[in-house]
Structures are given as C-alpha cells and as structure tokens.
Amino acid sequence: MTGRKRRRAPPEPPPGGLLDWHASSHWSRRQLPCRYCEEPTNLRDSKHKPAHKTCAEQALAQQAAEAADAYQNGTL
C-alpha cells in the first residue's frame, strides 16, 4: 500500500429523499420543541430527540450538500 487514503463518496440520501418514520418509536404522547424549528412536535428522530420529519429531512439534505461540497473541494 502507498499510504494514501481513499476518499469515500459523500453519503447518499435515503431513497426518494424521505425518511421512513412508520415505527412507533418515532412518536411520543408528549409534545416538545423541535430541535430544528422549535415548534411543538410529538415526533422523535432516531436519537429520540424531538424533530419534525420534514425538518430532519431538510437537515439531512443540507448535511449531504455540505459533504458533497467538501468532497469536491478535497477538504473531506
């Protein structure tokens, strides 16, 4: 090996760009402020933090775009 690291491709968004939140673990009876927009929500993300599904999808899309930019610029 030459000691060079291979760059990984940026992460791909979920198929269709949508998260699957059908599991009951994404629901809570208690409303808390969304971690992104601070509006009340009963939904929880995969880390059990309050988040609207659309807010989480927007955040993932932004992270993917930033990772793609970093990959293109060689800073990743």
- Give the C-alpha separation, 69 to 30, whole Å: 38
Which residue type does 57 have? Answer: E
Rounded Cα–Cα distance for residues 45 and 25 (Å): 9
What whole-number distance in Å separates Cα of residue 24 and Cα of residue 35? 19
Q: Which helix (H) or strand (E) holds 31?
A: strand 27-33
Paired residues of 16 in beta bridges? none
Predicted pLDDT at 15: 59
Residue 18 sits at φ, ψ, to 5 deg, of -115, 145
pTM: 0.69
Average pLDDT across each block of 10 residues of the chain; the chain has 76 residues. List them in order.
61 65 92 97 94 93 88 76
What is the per-residue pLDDT for 6?
64
